[in-house]
Amino acid sequence: MTDRYPPRSLAGLSVLLQAGALDPRTLAEETLDAIRRHDDPSIFVALTAERAMAEAEAASARIRSGRSLGLLDGIPIAWKDLFDLEGMPTTAGSVILADARPAASDAAVVAALRQAGMVAVGRVNMSEFAFSGLGINPHYGTPRNPASADAARLPGGSSSGSAAAVASGLVPVSIGTDTGGSVRIPAAFTGIVGYKASRGRYSMKGVFPLATSLDSLGPLCRSAQDAIWIDAAMRGATPSPARSIALSDISLVVPQTVVFEDCEEEVVVAFEATIARLEKAGVRVRRQPIPAFAEIFEVMGKRGPLVTAEAFALHHERLAGPAAGTIDRRVVARLRLGEKITLVDYLETLAERERLTAEVESMIGPNEIIAYPTVSHVAPLTAPLLEDDDLFVKTNFKTLRNTMIGNFLDFCGVSIPCGKGSAGLPVGFLLSGVRHNDDHLMKTSLALEETIRGAD
């Protein structure tokens, strides 16, 4: 936004819009202008100015005549470049899809939020084909992390543009996808909130896939309340203020397996300080080993990751043709690893996934929430990772490690900023629920958010 309309949450904008203190047309105009004037042109890959102004005009007319569609009517939103927008090609962060046939209709979740009155202002950048947790894109540029004050640092991926757009104050919300951490990682790196839903909570129609057995969706926004409103609208429900729960009724489980290994000291300090605040506020906390977390990586090491097998199956024809020379070399290298994964390996991994998921669910109480650092380190410097592919591979795995556990076990998860780490960069506090426990997770996040954020 401009100086007149500084960064706000969905809730704050909604109050102004519904009261008539801010007109949706003015908000859309100033949002588009701020995007055009922003000093990082790699955040957005395309603006939908004509559509945005038409949607804003319609929202303005509804609100002025007392026919508002609800709390989200007239609020700007940006879409990761994986979601179909009618009349535009869906490029998935890749130049080889730039000439693809324009989408005949909006993706299902785009249509749902359009029906809630939201104003689509553009498509945001991402890791090519969503296949990285860091956010590098050699074609459309790599967005800068707005939280970094010392040097250019990565915003996290693959929803890099989504995080940068929200953290920069350009839009209050952007919708991303999460296959191994691609909503929660960039939220943690940039100091905003990111919610990854359980698979199946939203329709995937019109969303370019990476690995269908792992893909999920979710918003990057400024607060847990914002995420709750967006979640409801994405499911076609009416957004409403969520009922919180008492802190004394909340129980957290802190795993003692894998997630703290090789963690930066400042990340652990920020996490433990947050746990101390929560316990002081009355939250129950217990710590226990969860052996299945380690077994996940043993299965991956033996049989290969599910994401690699499914991504290779999706892109194998591109890899066999001239298009491979145009795709980011780092993405090509990861995709080709899938060629070594046999059908037996793949099916055995699916079976192990069911076993390990059931095992973890048996260890977690009906309303318990799992808590650990979203990422084991703060946002890394960009330049070294552009220059050193071996460092890229190592850092990418380390970045994805904690969040990919949740994708494998089909957790739902919310990353909330909990303090600062090295270089004054944000640290993410990840709350996760077992599959389809999204509603309880969101209520818990709402209740804990203020304490998790502390003085930040």
Neighbouring C-beta atoms of residue 238, cutoff 10 Å:
12
415 part of the active site:
no
Confidence (pLDDT) at 237: 87
Q: Say how far apart CA 5 and CA 220 lie, in whole Å.
A: 20
* Annotated catalytic residue 80: yes
Check 60, 80, 127, 445 and give the catalytic one. Answer: 80
Q: Can you give the pLDDT of all 456 residues of the chain as single tens digits?
A: 433 334 579 989 999 999 999 999 999 999 999 999 999 999 999 999 999 999 999 999 999 999 999 999 999 999 999 999 999 999 999 999 999 999 999 999 999 999 999 999 999 999 999 999 999 999 999 999 999 998 999 999 999 999 999 999 999 999 999 999 999 999 999 999 999 999 999 999 999 999 999 999 999 999 999 999 999 999 998 876 667 799 999 999 999 999 999 999 999 999 999 999 999 999 999 999 999 999 999 999 999 999 999 999 999 999 999 999 999 999 999 999 999 999 999 999 999 999 999 999 999 998 999 999 999 999 999 999 999 999 999 999 999 999 999 999 999 999 999 999 999 999 999 999 999 999 999 999 999 999 999 976
Q: Would you call 26 helix, strand, or coil by DSSP?
A: helix
pLDDT at 7: 55
Which tokens hold the place of 158?
């693959």
Catalytic residue among 182, 213, 376, 432: 182
**How far is 431 from 369, CA to CA, in rounded Å?**
6
Model pLDDT, residue 242: 63
Asked if residue 9 has a cis previous peptide bond (ω within 30° of 0), the answer is: no
Amino acid identity, residue 295? E
Q: What residues contact residue 379 under an 8 Å CB cut-off, 6+ apart?
A: 145, 147, 148, 153, 154, 155, 156, 189, 190, 425, 426
Rounded CA-CA distance 389/384 in Å is 9
Contact assessment for residue 254 and residue 275, using Cβ atoms and an 8 Å cutoff: yes
pLDDT at res. 53: 98
| Catalytic residue status for 162 | no
Identify the pLDDT of residue 158: 98
Report how far apart the first and last C-alpha atoms of the chain are (Å, whole number).
22
Q: Which of 42, 94, 148, 158 is catalytic?
A: 158
